[in-house]
Structure 1
């Protein structure tokens, strides 16, 4: 291993959605510091104004490992390297493959070659900002690309999050050769979600050809979807109003939104919902003691029977737990 003091640095730069205005100052500074800039050809174009006079290494979409190897070689030669990703380098970006290449080469954090990850706004952040507030409650991201992930794995994840009522951001939804994946995703979601579930499709967020379409789960297949698109699928509470997609956080469960935010009967500000964990455990035990079977409870709450059983078997003292909650307030 080359351990010369002149060893350089790899900066994994998330450039955000593509607009320089939405790039962090640290990302700008890192590109300015770099002697070598490496990236997918489209991403290189997005930072063209910042890389004049630098050594540029352009790679195709499927050459992620080559990008990482090139970055390591340049850093071993003592150069500062900006390895750029759109969005965030750690979200479907170059951080993962770069660390794989580094570890394969024998690199450790004590190596003279330094590594810095510079975060950026991922597609789900930028697309959400353009359509309203769809990610205000629990959400997840799933890539439909099966270039490296087996389809059964992707399908299981889609089915699980659709059933669990997450808001979902679909990355890499469709390409010229991958056209059926989005159809299968829609089919899986329709097993658990209403056909009129709101969907927003954002193409090229904050770029020259930006396009936004609002549709529904049952009609999303008619929309123009490609590799530059991100598909946001709402949960059971998401709504679209006046051109804005919003997922409520749940304040209406506890507060009367029409009465100045007064707490609803049975609820207390700063405390778990009456249907939160503590209240649910009381209800669960009462229902079971009242004769409802574990299997019926599992169906009612859409939870695994073994989880219901182990929860009921766990010693549960409501008064002691409530007292502990009060003391923490």
Structure 2
């Protein structure tokens, strides 16, 4: 019996050779077998000479994983490729599900490696400016495997929480209403003129960028090769660029001259309205007669959370300056 082989889950990035990591290219070069969706196979065609190639369709993720495991059990080195990053809506998840169901463990003779790659949200953000500089999340609108009420609750929650959002799988030939419903949910919490960028085929031959607004989003040309970036309440469009401020203007004046701290603020320390400053203010308001219920309503936070934070002792609370604080000035 031949020695067991290896499965390398390769994130090839957005698709262009220039944006593929050296490790991704070497993993494919080392492989005996390359498994992937037909479109992704085309993106690495220059690396496939002399290799066994297993092409699978759009919804055949489990078949790809099974094929990779079978080849690895035969002692072959397998490159199982994903566009973007294999761990972000890619093949890493279904592959591990197949492996575990087959009785595989990390001690198995078949080795598994994940090679990270730039995800679609990274590629799209780089093309349109700096929309992801502050808190963001990604949500897939595909309801092929996820119930719509679950997706809708997530959309409503992140829209309300003011995240910048990257929508994956926003629309297909048969799934046309999901993007409309996403827009409906976002408009409950966001301004109609919230900036939106729609990027199709980032860094590929048919790349296309469209800037629009939330109220016009669903009317644009959107398909399965598109990623939709929805800004938050601070995101702006200027000179053809979509930017989400990191928050420096909350602490500094004169950013173009290096920035002078505003009154009451200190470099490397939390904002005066950061956690400790906010807790001190809450205590003062409670001492002045305001109720926890009033404060919870004012800050749009759960009443039991406000009560629990106020119950914690404040004496001696000192905020250390860590490396992450210094990086954020």
Range class of TM-score, shorter chain: over 0.9
- Give the structure 2 partner of residue 240 of structure 1: 237
User: What's the secondary structure of 1:185's corresponding residue?
Assistant: helix
User: What's the secondary structure of 1:303's corresponding residue?
Assistant: coil
CA distance in 2, matches of 1:178, 1:309: 45
Q: CA deviation at 1:298?
A: 1.5
CA distance in 2, matches of 1:55, 1:147: 30
User: What's the secondary structure of 1:176's corresponding residue?
Assistant: coil
2:41 aligned with 1:37: no
- Give the structure 2 partner of residue 46 of structure 1: 43
Q: CA deviation at 1:289?
A: 2.3
User: For the structure 1 residues 326 and 270, does the alpha-carbon distance in structure 2 shift closer, same or farther, using more than 3 Å as the test?
Assistant: closer
- Give the structure 1 partner of residue 317 of structure 2: 321
2:57 aligned with 1:60: yes
CA distance in 1, matches of 2:283, 2:294: 13
Q: CA deviation at 1:294?
A: 1.9
Q: What are the Cα deviations for residues 83-141 of structure 1, in whole angstroms up to 9, with x where unaligned?
A: 00000000000000000111111111111111000000000000000000001111110
Structure 1 counterpart of 2:22, from 22, 25, 30: 25
- Give the structure 1 partner of residue 151 of structure 2: 154
Alpha carbon RMSD of aligned pairs, Å? 1.5
The answer to whether the 8 Å contact 1:72/1:102 transfers is yes
Structure 1 counterpart of 2:303, from 287, 290, 305: 305
- Give the structure 1 partner of residue 104 of structure 2: 107
Q: CA deviation at 1:65?
A: 0.5
Q: What are the Cα deviations for residues 9-51 of structure 1, in whole angstroms up to 9, with x where unaligned?
A: 0000000001111000000000000110000111111111111
Structure 2 unaligned runs (5+)? none
Q: CA deviation at 1:306?
A: 1.3
User: What's the secondary structure of 1:240's corresponding residue?
Assistant: strand
Q: What are the Cα deviations for residues 197-234 of structure 1, in whole angstroms up to 9, with x where unaligned?
A: 10000000000100000001111111101100000011
How does the TM-score come out when normalised to structure 1?
0.95
The answer to whether the 8 Å contact 1:5/1:112 transfers is no
Structure 2 counterpart of 1:163, from 156, 160, 171: 160
- Give the structure 1 partner of residue 274 of structure 2: 276
Q: CA deviation at 1:327?
A: 11
User: What's the secondary structure of 2:317's corresponding residue?
Assistant: helix
CA distance in 1, matches of 2:242, 2:321: 37
CA distance in 1, matches of 2:60, 2:121: 24
Structure 2 counterpart of 1:249, from 230, 243, 246: 246
CA distance in 2, matches of 1:31, 1:257: 49
How does the TM-score come out when normalised to structure 2?
0.95
Structure 1 unaligned runs (5+)? none
Q: CA deviation at 1:257?
A: 2.3
CA distance in 2, matches of 1:91, 1:58: 21
Q: CA deviation at 1:311?
A: 1.2
The answer to whether the 8 Å contact 1:39/1:85 transfers is yes
* Count of matched residue pairs: 323
User: What's the secondary structure of 2:113's corresponding residue?
Assistant: strand
